Chain A
Amino acid sequence: MAYFRSHVLVSIDPVCVEKGAYDLIRALQDELVKQGLIDEVEVLETSRIGNPVSEGPDLMVYPEDVHYTNLTVKDIPFLVEEQFLKGRVAEEFVHEAEADLDEEFSAPRSKEVRVVLKNIGEIDPLNIEDYIALDGYMALGKVLTEMTPEKTIQVILDSGLRGRGGAGFPTGLKWRFIRAAEGEPKYMICNADEGDPGAFANRRVLEGDPHSVIEGMIIGAYAAGSSQGYVYCRAEYPIAVQTLRIAIDQARSLGLLGENILGTDFSFDLEVRMGAGAFVCGEETALMASIEGKRGEPRPRPPFPAQKGLWQKPSNINNVETYANVPKIILNGAEWFASMGYEKSKGTKTFSMAGDVKNTGLIEVPFGITLREIIYDVGGGIKGDKAFKAVQTGGPMGGCLPEEYLDLPMDYEALGKAGSILGSGGLVVMDEDTCMVDIARFFMEFTQDESCGKCTPCRVGTRRILEILTRICEGKGRPDDIDTLRYLCEEINENSLCGLGKGAPNPVKSTLEHFLDEYDAHINEKRCPAKVCKALIRFEIIDGTCTGCTLCARNCPVQAISGERRQTHVIDPDICIKCGICEQLCPYDAIEII
C-alpha cells in the first residue's frame, strides 16, 4: 500500500470547479511528476473547504495543515517548490483566516469532550458523503445486519443514555415501552423545539450535523418497531429546517430512508414539521397536538405517549441530542459511553453559555464537571472580571444558583436537589450588577406569556406572581408579598397540568431562597441593591468631584441637569428619567447611582 508523506486536497465544489479546480489538479500532478515527487505527495479531490469561496479555488495540504487559495495553474510550480521541496509555506497564497468569526462555537476548550458536537464545522452538512466519510451510517448498517431490535435496546440501556431534553428518562427504557405497546403505526418523534432562551445546542447540531440525528432516529425506529417519524422543529430555526429537509432527501436517495432500508425488510420514513412560535410546544403532548394541527395545549397523562401519542398511536419522543448520541454508542459500545460521566448520569452534555461570561457559546463536557469549572475554566470567567452572582441552569424553569453551589457536579440529580434543573443545558451567568428580583420578574414575564392558558393554576397563578414582582420592582412592594409569593409558587407547582406550569415558579422560588435580602431591600427599604430597578434608584452628582464641565447637562435628553460652568451640577430627580447617559459620559466619574 502506497504511503505518502503529504496530501493535497483540492476542493471540487461547483464554485471551485468554475475557477479551474480540475486544471489545478492536472497541473499539480504534472509538476509532481516533473519533480519526482509523485510517489510522495498524493493529490485528492474533496468537497468544499471551509466557507464560501471568495477567491478560490481552495486547496489544503496535510499534515502541514495549510489552506491555500487564489491559485492559478502558473502558480503551481512555485507552490510545489516551496511547499514540498523546500518545506516552506507559500505565504502569498495562504488563506487569510479572517476567520468567519464563529461567535458561538470555538475550537474545543480545556475540559471539553466533544461527542455530539464533534462533526460540527468539520463536515459540510449539505453533503451526506462528508458524514459517511466519518463513519456515518456505519452504526445503522451494523444494527440492521448484526443486531436484533431487542439487542439494540439493550445496548442503549447499558450505555446509560438518558433523555437530553431535561427529564433524563432512560432512553432504552422508552424504546422498550414503545416496542411492547399495542397499535400501528408507531411514531418516532424528535423534539427539536428548543425553546429555552439561551439554549442553542440543538440548533447547531441540526444545522451542522443533521445526519447524526437522522441516523439516531432510524436506529431507534428499528429498535422500537416504528415505521414513520417526525422531526418537530421550531420555526425560529429556518436554517435548521432547511438543512434537515435536504439531509433527509439525500438519505432517502441513498436508500437509508424509505422502503427496505439498506436492502433489509425494515422500512422507515421521516418528515419535518415546523412549529409556529409557541414555547409550550416543547412539551411532548403539546408538541403532538401541534403536529395534529391544533393549539399546542398539553393534556393529562396517563395515557402516556408510549401508549397513546400522536393520533392516539404509540409514540416515542426524544430530544435532538439524545438521538445524536445513538450512532456513536452503537459504534463505540455501551461501555465507552458509560465510562464517561458521573454516577447515574453517563456520557456528555452540551451546554449553551450565555450572559456575563467571557466565552459565551456552545460547549460539551462530561457529566460530573462542576459549575465552577464550566464558568471559569471553560467559560473564561466573568466578563470584565466582575464578581459572580448567580447562574441559572436549565432554561426559564430552572433555578438561580448562587456562589455556594459553584462546586456542584453537573448532573440530573445534583441539580434537582439544589432546586434547579438540568433542562436543555442553557446556562445564563449573572454578575454582581444583576438584580435578582428583576431576573425573577423577567423569567416570569416569559413563562406567563408562553402559558397556553389551559389550566388555571398556571394561567392565573403566573399572572398573579408577575403582578406582585412588577409591583416590587416599582417600589410598591408590601410586607406580605413574600408569603404570598411562596404560597403561589407551591400551588402552581403542585397543580399545573404540565412541566411549564410546574417549573414556572422555580426562578422565583430559588431567588427567594438564596437572595431573600434583595427582596427585603426592595420591599422594606424601597432600595435595589444592584441598582437596576429604575423606580428605586437615583442619579446624583457628587459634590467635590464634579468640575462643572457641563457635559452631562448638554447631553441630558430631558434637561434634568442644571448648573453653572465650573460649578457643581445638580440633577432634578423629578425630571430625571434614569436613562444613564450622564453617568456614562461623565469623564470624572462624578455621577453615582444610589
Chain B
Amino acid sequence: MPVEVKGGQDVRSFVRTLVKEQGSEKAELIPILHEINRELGYISDEAIQELSDRMHIPTSHIFSVATFYRMLSTEPRGRHVIQFCESAPCHVAGGRQVWQSLQKELGLENGETSADEKWTLITTSCLGVCGIGPVVIIDHDIYGNVTPEQVPELLKNYD
C-alpha cells in the first residue's frame, strides 16, 4: 500500500494537485488528508511539508490534526491493513477470542506492521455493523460473524 510515486507524480506534485482541486481553505484540510492517506497509505513528512506550503498552515497544526484522527496515519502501513472492531457489541459476541487469534496468527500487537511490510494490524472503532459481530475488515473487505478458527483462512486470501 505505501506508494511513494503515484502515476508518475511524486508526492509533492500529488499534494499540489489536490490543493488546486479542493481549495486551500482550512476547512479542506481533513478531506485532503483523507485523499493523501488513501493514495499513499499514510501521510508522510514530505506531504505535510508540501501541504503547509500550499495551504499556509503551520506544519505543527497539520501534524496535530493528522495524529488526532484514527483513520489517518503518519506511519507507513503494510500492504494489507487489518482492522478489528474492538467495540462492546463485537466484544460481547466473542470478539476477544477472535482478536487473540489474529494476534497469534500474525505475531503482531495492536498498531504493529509486520517486518515484511505485508500486514498492519489495528483496532478500529465501531463500524456500525454490530448485527454481524465480531467484525474484521481487511483492506475494504468486511467479514462478519468471524470465529477464531476462521482467521487463518481469511488471511490466506491476501498476498
Which residues in A have some Cβ–Cβ distance to B below 8 Å? Answer: 103-105, 194-200, 203, 235-237, 273-279, 290-296, 352, 354-356, 360-362, 392, 396, 426, 428, 430, 434, 439, 442-443, 446, 450, 452, 579-580
Distance from A166 Cβ to chain B, minimum over Cβ atoms (Å):
16
Contact status B68-A293, CB under 8 Å: no
State in angstroms the CA–CA spacing of A362 and B89 once bound together. Answer: 14
Given A197-B88, A197-B89; A236-B30 close (CB under 8 Å): no
Which single member of B65, B71, B87, B92 contacts A430 (CB below 8 Å)?
Answer: B92
Which single member of A195, A291, A296 contacts B125 (CB below 8 Å)?
Answer: A195
List, in ascending order, chain B residues with CB within 8 A of A199's CB.
Answer: 126, 128, 130
- Which of B12-20, B21-29, B74-82 lies at the binding interface? B21-29
Contact status B130-A200, CB under 8 Å: yes
Extra contacts besides A276-B34, A278-B69, A443-B88 (20): CB < 8 Å = A103-B132, A197-B85, A198-B88, A199-B126, A199-B128, A236-B71, A274-B30, A275-B69, A276-B72, A277-B69, A293-B27, A294-B26, A294-B61, A295-B65, A296-B69, A355-B93, A360-B131, A392-B88, A434-B92, A446-B86
List, in ascending order, chain A residues with CB within 8 A of B54's CB.
Answer: none
Distance from A486 Cβ to chain B, minimum over Cβ atoms (Å):
23
Given A292-B26, A354-B89; A276-B129 close (CB under 8 Å): no
List, in ascending order, chain B residues with CB within 8 A of A203's CB.
Answer: 128
Give the size category of B's interface with A: 35 or more
29 contacts between A and B (CB under 8 A): A103-B132, A105-B131, A197-B85, A197-B125, A197-B126, A203-B128, A236-B71, A236-B128, A274-B30, A274-B31, A276-B33, A276-B34, A277-B71, A277-B72, A278-B68, A278-B70, A279-B125, A291-B27, A292-B26, A293-B29, A294-B26, A354-B88, A354-B89, A355-B88, A360-B131, A426-B89, A442-B88, A446-B88, A450-B125
Distance from B90 Cβ to chain A, minimum over Cβ atoms (Å):
8
User: Is B64 part of the binding interface, using a Cβ–Cβ cutoff of 8 Å?
Assistant: yes
Distance from B143 Cβ to chain A, minimum over Cβ atoms (Å):
13
Given A104-B132, A277-B125, A450-B125; A293-B89 close (CB under 8 Å): no
Given A277-B125, A296-B68; A198-B132 close (CB under 8 Å): no
Distance from B100 Cβ to chain A, minimum over Cβ atoms (Å):
8
User: Is B41 part of the binding interface, using a Cβ–Cβ cutoff of 8 Å?
Assistant: no
List, in ascending order, chain A residues with CB within 8 A of B72's CB.
Answer: 276-277
Given A293-B28, A355-B93, A446-B87; A277-B70 close (CB under 8 Å): yes
List, in ascending order, chain A residues with CB within 8 A of B71's CB.
Answer: 235-236, 276-277
Which single member of B29, B30, B131 contacts A354 (CB below 8 Å)?
Answer: B131
Total cross-chain contacts (CB, 8 A): 123
State in angstroms the CA–CA spacing of A196 and B92 once bound together. Answer: 15
Q: B68: nearest residue on chain A (CB-CB)?
A: A295
Distance from B92 Cβ to chain A, minimum over Cβ atoms (Å):
5
List, in ascending order, chain A residues with CB within 8 A of B131's CB.
Answer: 103-105, 200, 354, 360-362
Return the CB mask of B77-119 against A: 1 if under 8 Å, else 0: 0000000011111111100010010000000000000000000
Contact status B87-A198, CB under 8 Å: yes
Contact status B70-A197, CB under 8 Å: no
User: Is B127 part of the binding interface, using a Cβ–Cβ cutoff of 8 Å?
Assistant: yes
User: Is B124 part of the binding interface, using a Cβ–Cβ cutoff of 8 Å?
Assistant: yes
List, in ascending order, chain A residues with CB within 8 A of B90's CB.
Answer: 197
State in angstroms the CA–CA spacing of A326 and B28 once bound together. Answer: 31
User: Is B144 part of the binding interface, using a Cβ–Cβ cutoff of 8 Å?
Assistant: yes
Contact status B87-A197, CB under 8 Å: yes
List, in ascending order, chain B residues with CB within 8 A of A195's CB.
Answer: 125-126
Distance from A167 Cβ to chain B, minimum over Cβ atoms (Å):
20
Q: B137: nearest residue on chain A (CB-CB)?
A: A236
* 8 Å CB interface, B32-51 against A: 33-34
State in angstroms the CA–CA spacing of A446 and B91 once bound together. Answer: 12
State in angstroms the CA–CA spacing of A392 and B127 once bound together. Answer: 19
State in angstroms the CA–CA spacing of A426 and B91 once bound together. Answer: 15
State in angstroms the CA–CA spacing of A153 and B102 once bound together. Answer: 53
Contact status A428-B92, CB under 8 Å: yes
Given A276-B70, A293-B28, A446-B88; A360-B34 close (CB under 8 Å): no
List, in ascending order, chain B residues with CB within 8 A of A426's CB.
Answer: 89
State in angstroms the CA–CA spacing of A490 and B144 once bound together. Answer: 39
Contact status B31-A355, CB under 8 Å: no
Contact status B64-A295, CB under 8 Å: yes
State in angstroms the CA–CA spacing of A118 and B34 once bound together. Answer: 34
State in angstroms the CA–CA spacing of A145 and B68 once bound together. Answer: 46
List, in ascending order, chain B residues with CB within 8 A of A291's CB.
Answer: 27
Which single member of A274, A354, A396, A452 contacts B92 (CB below 8 Å)?
Answer: A354
Q: A194: nearest residue on chain B (CB-CB)?
A: B128
State in angstroms the CA–CA spacing of A279 and B89 once bound together. Answer: 16
State in angstroms the CA–CA spacing of A221 and B39 once bound together. Answer: 37
List, in ascending order, chain B residues with CB within 8 A of A392's CB.
Answer: 88
Distance from B5 Cβ to chain A, minimum over Cβ atoms (Å):
25
List, in ascending order, chain A residues with CB within 8 A of B86's CB.
Answer: 446
Distance from B159 Cβ to chain A, minimum over Cβ atoms (Å):
24
